[in-house]
Structure 1
Amino acid sequence: MKRSAPQRAPEIQVETQGRMPPGAVEYAREKVRALTGRTREPVLYARVKLTHMANPAMERPAIAQANVDVDGRPARAHVAATTMSEAVDLLQDRLAVRLTRLEEHWEARRGKTPVPHEWRHGSEPTHRPDYFPRPAEERQVVRHKSYSLAQESPDEAAFELETMDYDFHLFTDVGTGEDSVLYRAGPTGYRLAQVHPQPDLVGPVNVPLTSSELPAPRMGVAEAKQRLDLTGFPFVFFADATTGRGNVLYHRYDGHYGLISPVE
């Protein structure tokens, strides 16, 4: 379908934190603008955040993140590198993959064919930011996101995880009604964990998926913190001791914790 008139490219908002080399803001703006000018659907919003971590021990202190809204559908990319110019280049490459997946999704819906799942995330460099080595006694839950969990299939959850460049995705499985978390497992697949595992009711999926047979441990946030610190995992999925709902406590890149919980 052809557009009746050219779409006006949005203003690329760029935020910075820490010391920036000369020209970094405009360089990031140009790189993201080049992508927004090629999308078939209109880009309604685009924001870039550039952060230079002050810790000299970090091998990749330059962090770049982009969030865009393509005709009402969000996409996100997040990378780290040794220099800010390298981070911006990597950000453009990674965001381009996200926008391509959105385009594939829309094309599949128009043609009423299955959504493509050959996403090659195993071969795509992640360039994930390093965690700031904050001492455990200084870590706090500095961000608590609480919202109604999406009712999705594992395929839909995988699409959300990939387009938003998440490490994990918390949702309610539409087939079982269970609070669930989906995350990458190995180079080519995903793994599903549920508050009360019901693998026989999950239903057919197209993505390569394995399911945990262990129920989510029931605990409070304090115990989840201890488990996160002891295991060294990037996140802990648990059933809240009071509500029984699925929660995720995760390591933020600033060395603190983030908590995601469903709205009751």
Structure 2
Amino acid sequence: MTRADLVISPQVYTHGEVGPDATAYAVGKLEAALHHAPGPVLRTSLTLDAAAPGDRVDAHVDVNGVGLHVHAVGESLQEATDLMQDRLRSRLRRIRRRPQQGPDTPKQ
């Protein structure tokens, strides 16, 4: 398993009434998921939307030139954040399993 040692802090966008605790929780979950990235994380952004029908969390990530977008809707921002983290980890595992579809890995 490869671990990305450097995780870039995401740009965070909010819509509606999103408290600082919800923002910090979402950033922590995103950064935890990115520690499983199979390459360097070049850019991240996170959108928390409490104004949408259901609370929605979107994450956009660039892993060594491969763009990933995941989103989740839940009854609370915490639930949506947990779902987003699960989906992002799944996408990162898929890139690791199928390197021809993801970032180039250095040959040793």
Write out aligned runs for 1:62-73 (5 A): 62-73=55-66
In structure 2, the partner of 1:13 is 11
Q: Deviations over 1:50-76 (max 9, x none)?
A: 00126xxx4xx2010000000000111
Give the structure with higher Rg (CA): 1
Instruction: Calculate percent identity across the aligned residue pairs.
Output: 33
C-alpha separation in 1, matches of 2:58 and 2:78: 13
1:35 and 2:33 aligned: yes
1:100 to 77, 89, 93: 93
- Could you tell me which amino acid in structure 2 is paired with residue 39 of structure 1? A
C-alpha separation in 2, matches of 1:35 and 1:17: 23
In structure 1, the partner of 2:46 is 48
C-alpha separation in 1, matches of 2:9 and 2:82: 19
C-alpha separation in 2, matches of 1:28 and 1:85: 8
In structure 2, the partner of 1:87 is 80
Write out aligned runs for 1:102-251 (5 A): 102-106=95-99, 109=100
- Could you tell me which amino acid in structure 2 is paired with residue 62 of structure 1? D
Q: Which structure carries more helix by proportion?
A: 2
For these two proteins, the number of residue pairs brought into alignment is 101
TM-score (structure 2 length as normaliser): 0.82
C-alpha separation in 2, matches of 1:28 and 1:66: 10
Query: What secondary structure is seen at the aligned counterpart in 1 of 2:37?
Result: coil
C-alpha separation in 1, matches of 2:64 and 2:83: 24
Post-superposition shift, 1:37? 1.6
C-alpha separation in 2, matches of 1:7 and 1:82: 33
Post-superposition shift, 1:79? 1.0
Post-superposition shift, 1:22? 4.2
Query: What secondary structure is seen at the aligned counterpart in 1 of 2:81?
Result: helix
RMSD: 2.3
- Could you tell me which amino acid in structure 2 is paired with residue 15 of structure 1? Y
Query: What secondary structure is seen at the aligned counterpart in 1 of 2:38?
Result: coil
Post-superposition shift, 1:38? 2.1
In structure 1, the partner of 2:106 is none
Post-superposition shift, 1:20? 1.3
- Could you tell me which amino acid in structure 2 is paired with residue 78 of structure 1? H
Structure 2 contact 38–95 (Cα < 8 Å) conserved: no
- Could you tell me which amino acid in structure 2 is paired with residue 23 of structure 1? D
Higher relative contact order (CA 8 A, sep 6+): 2
Q: Which runs of 4+ in 1 moved over 6 A?
A: none
Query: What secondary structure is seen at the aligned counterpart in 2 of 1:16?
Result: strand
Q: Which runs of 5+ in 2 are unaligned?
A: 103-108
C-alpha separation in 1, matches of 2:48 and 2:28: 14
Structure 1 contact 48–66 (Cα < 8 Å) conserved: yes
